[in-house]
Structure formats: C-alpha cells, structure tokens
Amino acid sequence: MTKNQNKTLIVLTGPTAVGKTALSLSLAECFHAEIVSADARQFYRELAIGTAAPSPHELATIKHHLIGHLSVVDYYNVSLYEQQALGVINDLFDKSDYVVLAGGSGLYIDTLCSGIDTLPPVDRLVREKVQRVFESDGLAGIRNWLKQVDPAYYHIVDPANPKRIMRGLEVFLQTGIQYSEHRKHQSVERPFTIKRVVLVRERDELFCRINARVHKMVRDGLVEECLFMYKCRHLNALNTVGYKELFAWISNEWPLNRAIEKIQTNTRRYAKRQITWFKRYPDAGWFHPDDFDGILQFIKKVGKSV
C-alpha cells in the first residue's frame, strides 16, 4: 500500500486526566484539523460526566467524531471501531492534511494504527454463556476459566479487563481454537503518516489531577448520572471505573465517601496501566502537555512515523 506522506494522523494519547482534551483542541486549531475520538468510554452518549467527555463548548469549538455516537445498549467492538474510524479519517483527509486522533484507549489506538487480526463472529448464545459465568462467578471465575482453556493468552491479557478475558473465552468456545492461536501479530500498513504523541506528567502531579477531576465529576452530577443508569449496571459499557464504585454505594455496599475514594484509587491504577501500555510505542514522542512547541516540532519532523 502506497503511503501518502502529505497526510498525517496525529495520535494524541496519554493516561487519564493528563490533559489530552485541551491539547487536542489546540493541535486541531493549529493544523486546521478535526478530532476523532480514541476513548472507548466516550463513545456512549449516556456517560458524558463519568467519562469526562468534551464539554458542549469544546465540541462546538472543533468538530469531533465518534463521541456519543452509541448507546450503552448497543453492541460494539474494536473491529467495528476500526472500520468506522478509518472511514471518518479518510473522509477528513479529503479536506485537510491532518487529523487528530485523541484518547487513551490503547487497544483502539493500536487497532486503528496497525490493524486487527480477523476473528470469527461469535454466536449470541456463546456470548450469553460467557456472560452468565461472569455474572455468577465474577472476574475470578472467568480468569480461572481462561487459564484452563488458553494459558498463553491468560498470561498476557490484562487481568482486570473482563471484556478481553471474555473475548478470549468466546473465540475459543466458538472455534475450538485458542484465542492466542488466532492472534497473528501482523501489522497493517496505513496509507498515511502516523505521529504518536504521548502526554506525561510527574506522578504526583498526575495523581492530584485525577483526584481533583473525580471531585469535579461529582459536583457536575456523576452521582445523579449513576442513579439514572443503575438499571443498566449489568451492561459491559458500565463495567468501568466511576460507575462500578457508585453502583456499589447505591447497593449499600459502602458509604458515598468511600465510593468516591475508590474511584480515585482505581482511576490512578488505570492511569498506571495506560502508561505501561504506551511504553510499547518505540517511535512515540513523550511530552509534558505544556511543551506545545516541542510537540509541534515532533509532529512536523519529516521521516519519523509509526
């Protein structure tokens, strides 16, 4: 596939609360570009507060794509995202030489940049079977199941991510072949230049921002959002930090102040996992969000692409 060196996808990523949204707006304005989301939680229109989605003002300042385009009841996966995001990006390249991809969901970023192995569709009954085990035995139950049927994938999958664990089980049950055998690790060459920018702050600075943002979410109505969504708590879209903890409060498992503290703790842990993921990008530029000039120089530098 021939690469068009005149078209550049700026991949702006980093841990949660590092400052991606503000910088993405500045970069989009500078390069006369539009923004495509790579935040898997911000796809859902009902979860604007708990996912720190861009504000209505920010959405009006620069046109965004793939934010709030789904409902929590919609079935969605990374393969569908790859198809939709590539379609949007190709359309945007018809009117601009730059597109900004902003978000912290590493799997979605990797799939968009490098492709995903073709996997068989999973039958609804198979998916429901795995879901029932998860609901009855919890995360430990599906982890133990995966360890038995696919130890190779068990040792590399994120042990705190039920979606990926369940996906491995579904593929095995559907095909009889281990998910680890399906994964070929073959990259796809995209017909545009990719520049990855990873934002980073000092640990204490980042953690203070995370704690402060959780308090802001509560002030903005996170509790009310969770009360409204409580009836949908069984859905995968809501099996995420910020919602699980408050659902437990609603179920009288602990007081509200403890739920808020747990959101802060689990968000900090999530941020550390994100940083570990992004360290796999050998050609990425790592910058503090305030180093705008350095980021611009990195993006404009010819010959460094991912």
304 exposure class (CB count in 10 Å sphere: 0-12, 13-18, 19+): middle
Residue type, 40: A
Instruction: Quick: pLDDT tens for 226-239.
Output: 999 999 998 988 98
**Residue 191 within a domain:** yes
- Find the CATH number of the domain harbouring 214: 3.40.50.300
Q: Do 80 and 215 lie in a common domain?
A: yes
pTM score: 0.81
Q: Do 99 and 166 lie in a common domain?
A: no
For residue 232, give both structure tokens. Answer: 């949908």
Q: Do 109 and 207 lie in a common domain?
A: yes
Instruction: Quick: pLDDT tens for 40-86.
Output: 999 999 999 999 999 999 999 999 999 999 999 998 888 889 999 99
Residue 121: the pLDDT is 73
**Residue 305 within a domain:** no
Per mean pLDDT, which range of 14-18, 234-238, 248-252, 259-263 is the poorest? Answer: 234-238
Residue type, 267: T
**Residue 306 within a domain:** no
CB 291 within 8 A of CB 179: no
The arithmetic mean of pLDDT across residues 185-212, rounded, is: 93
CB 31 within 8 A of CB 98: yes
The arithmetic mean of pLDDT across residues 274-288, rounded, is: 94
Number of domains comprising the chain:
2
- Domain residue limits at 88: 4-116+186-300
CB 258 within 8 A of CB 170: no
- Find the CATH number of the domain harbouring 130: 1.10.20.140
The arithmetic mean of pLDDT across residues 111-130, rounded, is: 82
pLDDT(297) > 80: yes
The secondary structure element, H or E, covering residue 102 is strand 98-102
Closest to 243 measured CA to CA, from 257, 92, 228: 228
